[in-house]
Amino acid sequence: MNGPVSFPVRHLSLHNSFLLKYLALFGSTGSIGVNTLDVVRRQPDRFGIRYLAANNSVDLLAQQIAEFRPEAVAVNNREAAALLRSKNPGCEVLDGDAGLKELASRANYDIFVGALVGFAGLASTVEAVKQGKRVALANKETLVVAGELLSALAHRSGSDILPIDSEHSAIYQCLVGEPENSIMRIILTASGGPFRLTPTESFSGITPEAALRHPKWVMGRKITIDSATLMNKGLEVIEAKWLFHQPLEKIDVVVHPQSIIHSIVEFVDGSMKAQLGMPDMRLPIQYALAAPDRIAESYDRLDLLSCGPLEFAPPDLDKFPCLRLARESGMRGGLYPCILNASNEVAVHAFLEGRIKFTDIPEKIQWATDRAPLDAAAPFGCGSDEEIAAGLERIRQSDVETRVAVSRLIG
């Protein structure tokens, strides 16, 4: 079984787990990329770097080129690419969207790591799936906006998609060896973010600096704001639908501020499986690269005797409406998740620049989804390559139109 399905770990194989596996790491300068490179650094006999790609962080990418010696790199920014070429004459440097797609479409790597932020990660992930590569996916927006189409592509090409998100990795591990009809529900845990205990009446005064102080995880700026609004958890609900082929009605969210239990699966007999561990992104990254193998490592270990009480509570959808908006868009389907994602990305960017309030983020998203085209909920055709290509173009156009509309609204 291939693609985003419930229990593919039983079927996964990288042919010979003792051979060196080469990675195409897209988003190498972000938090997931840096952690992935640390996994590679710790396991030089298992993993190597064939390609690196980033948006425009030239200095860090240049350091990564010097250490990991990739055959080629790609950067979205053409000026950054020119600077890299001058500094690294022995390394092929591609640029722009076309360069990212070209690098992902090459055949001579084993694992694609998708860690570019936001919608920008979709096109390169599509190319990797077409190639039949193992895809270790951190970019949740890719499955949110195009999960139906990526599932169809993966089924055709034989690509396996493994999650890097700690919550989805936890579910993935809990489902190993379980029959498909045994799932009662999936329970995604959420830390609750930095404002779990903040009174709602104070939300309009929340600053970007306060929202970027996550209590448990060190992440990129966009995903940290999404965690503060709980949009991150809403996107994960939609992502779980496609990864594990479960209806949204069977995917719940529970606030667990200690972030020790990363997610839970409840089975039809009433039993539950949970995956526990320290909040360290290298663990799910390493699992996605090596599964079904587990690699011995010296990361910090969870001490059950010292981790303290574990708390659970339902999310407050009035206080955090982004979670509700995400679930509603997922239920509607079609282009609604794309509209949700695009409007959120624009609103988060504006908030980080100080142009809108924290409480304006869900309002802009609600405005965009309320004004969706009449055919927005129409399903995608996935019966042929032409239909899949048409669906991806439909998503691209919707993304552009939504960004323009919300940007004009914000001013």
What per-residue confidence (pLDDT) applies to 63?
A: 95
pLDDT of residue 279: 87
List, in order of start, the domains of the chain with CATH numbers.
8-164 (3.40.50.720), 179-277+302-410 (1.10.1740.10)
Per-residue model confidence (pLDDT) at position 17: 54
Distance, CA of 387 to CA of 401 (rounded, Å): 21
Q: How many CB atoms lie within 10 A of CB 13?
A: 10
- Per-residue pLDDT of 160-217, as tens digits, reads 999 999 999 999 999 999 998 999 999 999 999 999 999 999 999 999 999 999 887 7
- pLDDT at residue 385, rounded to an integer: 86
Write down the pTM of the prediction: 0.91
The pLDDT of residue 234: 97
Q: What angle do CA 41, 170, 326 make, to 5 degrees?
A: 110
Check: CB of residue 262 under 8 Å from CB of residue 275: yes
What phi and psi values does residue 398 have, to the nearest 5 degrees?
Answer: -65, -40
Preceding omega of 284 cis (within 30 degrees of 0): no
Three-state DSSP state, 255? strand
Give the Cα separation of 49 and 33 in Å (integer).
12
Residue 303 CA to residue 404 CA, distance in Å, equals 49
pLDDT for 117: 83
List beta partners, residue 254: 189
CB 346 within 8 A of CB 406: yes
Q: What is the pLDDT of residues 356-401, one digit of tens each?
A: 999 999 999 999 999 999 999 999 999 888 999 999 999 999 999 9
CA 171 to CA 174: how far, in whole Å? 5
How many other CB atoms are found less than 10 A from the CB of residue 389?
13
Q: How far is CA 142 from CA 40, 196, 218, 310, 384, in A?
A: 24, 27, 21, 32, 20
At 17 the three-state DSSP class reads: coil
Residue type, 215: P
Ranges of the chain whose pLDDT falls below 50: 1-11, 13-15
Of the candidates 90, 19, 5, 14, the residue with the CA atom closest to the CA atom of residue 48:
19
pLDDT at 141: 87
